[in-house]
Structure 1
């Protein structure tokens, strides 16, 4: 076997391929993903440092509570995430995977308690829907439907309790005065008139707003033609506030609160309906004050009502906050969000 001379070789020898060079945009995207994964934990740490007194006080009071009733409250808290996932599924025509959907709502709870007006929960859900291939317009329409159905369903449940338990509730002291009613009417009027005024003044916004409205109306008609979606949407929205109130009732029972389950449910429905529109993180603050006032009006001692609300926040906010943030970081890392 003879070797060919160098001049007879078919071409130049192949050179080794250069090592792949990472582009600055890819490195920046990777860094941004890591920052987003750690951001929930950083926000929780900052919030805990500011509100540490409430956490320590609530934990000290719960240490002497009946653990069986506290476990019941944890059970109702977990059912609340299931109800939220049902409402999210009912607001979108496409079928969503149950496991990732439930995980996203658990993570959305952590984001919801950090940012006001449910912005965090909506942002997590919007990202989840887009990752499932749902267009932005339809995903945004589902969030709008979710936000619209929840207060309507809560008001209907409140009316049912007013009819079912007329003798148990002292309604006279809870009826809002004329100033409060005028303020609520003005807020509703402004909320309805602002989009119409914005469309009339800013012409470039007319087309996207009208397209969004058409998409939303189309999805609403489609969803309400499917019984399974109607049950998930309206049933989940009606059950969710009752489950939240059941957590309060369980904590109250563990502390010896002298109110019945129906009275606690009504107190929560009335308080959250009255001041639920105030943009506080997770409704914390205004809803708590209104809830304490309502329970005191119904006959509960001030100290027990305050301890019950603190315990409720410990079970629904602080206990699942760190696990929810870890799940949020994991979903971001696995590109589920």
Structure 2
């Protein structure tokens, strides 16, 4: 068999000159086969494997979880440690044996493994392990000194148990880092010896009260993290087989290669080779490398977590599973009669790679075909190929321009079988139709894309795919193209509805949640922690029993009046008649919705829905709510300026703002400049505002034509603010503190603006902090301010939830929402 060497080639892999990238053969093949020149770049000697980085991140996450859990279950760990200590004292001989064996073996086993590796000429791996051991020793020592120095006292007590000892065992950290860096886990016998030794070492130190359970666990995890970080930092020896090994594997499959050239990698990063055979034919060979199996794993995990189970793919597959999956899909596509490259052979290349050999078809991807050359005949061929797959329940899962090819005769060829599914369900088949519809619409327009699909697949298939025309369902490349081409998906839906106007297909929810939902959940958890920490100092029973009931009753009336005011405001901006009390119920229902939506979103959504149910056209409903929000913003700014002027005119003229206030004002100014000065942020803001207020001006003109509506809108808008200010003022007075109404108004208007911007439900956390901070700056004692804000939020946010739920249920039952 020929011994082939590859030399470095810096030319483009898809079109380099073989003469420039000529490889040097060593000798002729023993079977008489002439030398094969493998044209490919010189493979790097070392690689940074994504798997090492992912293991490092996973270890850090486990370490953080262990520390948090240990801090929470501190008393349980203390009891467990006492039980183990008592047990060790009952069998002192066993403890002494463990101490002797662990202390000696923890040094002997790593040394023996190093000698064995050097004997097998693998000294470089030992050197990597020594680097990790040195880093582990230094890192654990420095971390221990940092903890002993008084930083993170709770963590120090947790790791040391309050005794004079190392927070992290320096020797154990370096040993674990060494074992991780030399990949001892791949050798079952050595792995068992190493971890048995480490367990004996920990037992010996634990029975001697020189280490605690949390310290032992944290030490092992820190050592593993340092080992994986070292592996990723210095890289690992490249075990990918070179082109010569690919040629040798093909010869074992009875092929006779005479030329080999590496071409551009596929979209998953797998290597590809163009192989010329002695009979004049060619092969396209795909090489699956084991170290590439985890490439893109974070994205795949995120998709599995975010999407429903029917649409997601397995995040991790073994090398053999990936080989079998692609081979099965290729054979199934051939059996279905689809035009795909024939799979001619598969083979493993050692233990680190495998190959799939396809017949070569001279084609070009559809991405390289100009739009004007994509005629109706070509579109029909594409859909016919997809129909052949769908008849046999085969889902391609990647119908894009790089997997749809056109040969010299103009025939369509489908490639990239690895992403497909055999025996696919209806949802996956409909996803294929939605993906191809969208891709072709981006190339030839929605109308031609839908017309060509309907001619082959039929209107029913398109109607079934219509609910899946969602960006989340499409490939990453198609989603990127859609971000530049607006209104493509709505246009596709309109053309499908024109073909099948009476079709009723159930809505399909592909996402478990949206990213904004995750952000809201995280922000809500942080806000709840802040609120609970702030109010933990307040005795709720004391607040309820000591509050003046007269003032509390006034605050409750003001809270109820705010819902009536909100109903009046909405009625004022809608020329169509709205019943008052049902509109009041809608405002109560919005208080229930605020529990699961940010403050600035819940009310807008439910009011818009209510108007649409009342027969107001969608555009007019959005415009009415947008007009009310715009006028509310104008009133808010005007009242803030008015009350601030009144408050400032009654204070000393020598008032100097605090440093914190100046910093806040500067931060707000910087934020405004950033939003208005950075084009992407400015476009995002203008786009969102234009969507909300696009039809506001005509709606305002309609309101101005009716004096009664104009008065109703202005009175309702003004009453909302005044009722909330009155409620807060009464809550403060309920605890016996006097403060001017204007000062309370300034505090409320400022805090309300902060709460509206917060992504938490009802501005939870942000409103409380802003109100308490504002009242303290206004001269209210902190304990009293906290109690007053607690009462205020109880009356305006939490108490309306129950009637809000009842109103929401009632309105839904009567189809008003």
Q: Distance in 2 between matches of 1:189 and 1:135?
A: 36
Deviations 1:74-94 (A, max 9, x none): 110011001111111122121
Report which structure shows greater RCO (CA 8 Å, sep ≥6). Answer: 1
Against the structure 1 CA distance between its residues 143 and 171, is the aligned structure 2 distance closer, same or farther, given a 3 Å change threshold?
farther
User: Are residues 325 and 211 of structure 1, via their aligned partners in 2, closer, same or farther at CA, if it must alter by over 3 Å?
Assistant: closer
Match of 1:126 in 2: 608
Match of residue 746 from structure 2? 266
Task: Work out which of the residue numbers 657, 673, 678 in structure 2 matches 1:172.
Answer: 657
User: 1:58·1:311 contact (CA, 8 Å) conserved in 2?
Assistant: no
Q: 1:195 to 1:264 in 2, by over 3 A?
A: closer
Query: What are structure 1's unaligned runs of at least 5 residues?
Result: 1-24, 30-45, 200-208
Match of 1:245 among 722, 725, 744: 725
Task: Tell me whether 1:220 sits opposite 2:693 in the alignment.
Answer: no
Tell me how far apart the structure 1 counterparts of residues 795 and 649 of structure 2 sit (CA, whole Å): 31
The equivalent residue for 2:630 is 148
Partner of 2:567: 85
Distance 2:729 2:776 in 1: 14
The structure 2 residue matched to 1:68, chosen from 527, 537, 550, is 550
Q: Distance in 2 between matches of 1:219 and 1:160?
A: 27
Counterpart contact for 2:627–2:693, Cα < 8 Å:
no
1:294 is displaced (CA, Å) by: 1.2
List runs of 5+ in structure 2 lacking aligned partners. Answer: 1-503, 508-523
Deviations 1:84-111 (A, max 9, x none): 1111112212121112111111111221
Deviation of 1:327 after TM superposition, in Å, equals 1.4
Alignment correspondent of 1:17: none
CA–CA separation in structure 1 for the residues paired with 2:725 and 2:774: 13
Deviations 1:142-182 (A, max 9, x none): 12222222222111111111233324456734554322222
Structure 1: distance between partners of 2:634 and 2:815: 34
Q: Distance in 2 between matches of 1:171 and 1:287?
A: 25
Name the CA distance, whole Å, in 2 between partners of 1:110 and 1:217. Answer: 30
Partner of 1:104: 586
Distance 2:687 2:742 in 1: 43
Shift of 1:325: 0.7
Q: How many residues align?
A: 285
Q: Deviations over 1:155-210 (max 9, x none)?
A: 111111123332445673455432222213434677753265699xxxxxxxxx78
Contact 2:596 2:761 in 1 (8 A): yes
Contact 1:83–1:237 (Cα < 8 Å) also in 2: yes
| TM-aligned CA distance change 1:192 to 1:105, over 3 Å | farther
Does structure 2 retain, via aligned residues, the 8 Å contact 1:59–1:311? no
**Distance verdict in 2 for CA 1:328–1:198, change over 3 Å:** closer
Task: Output the CA distance in 2 between the equivalents of 1:211 and 1:271.
Answer: 23
Equivalent residues of 1:84, 1:105 under 8 A apart: yes
CA shift at 1:113, angstroms? 3.6
How much does 1:123 deviate?
Answer: 2.4
**Change in 2 beyond 3 A, CA 1:187/1:149:** farther
Q: Which has the higher helix share?
A: 1
Cα gap change, 1:120 to 1:272, in 2 (>3 Å): closer
CA distance in structure 2 between the partners assigned to 1:284 and 1:152 by the alignment: 24
Does structure 2 retain, via aligned residues, the 8 Å contact 1:118–1:281? no
| Greater displacement, 169-178 / 228-237 | 169-178
The 1:124–1:276 alpha-carbon spacing in structure 2 relative to 1, beyond 3 Å, is closer
The yes-or-no answer on 1:285 pairing with 2:285 is no
SS of 1:96's equivalent? coil
Contact (CA 8 Å) 1:66, 1:255: kept in 2 or not?
Answer: yes
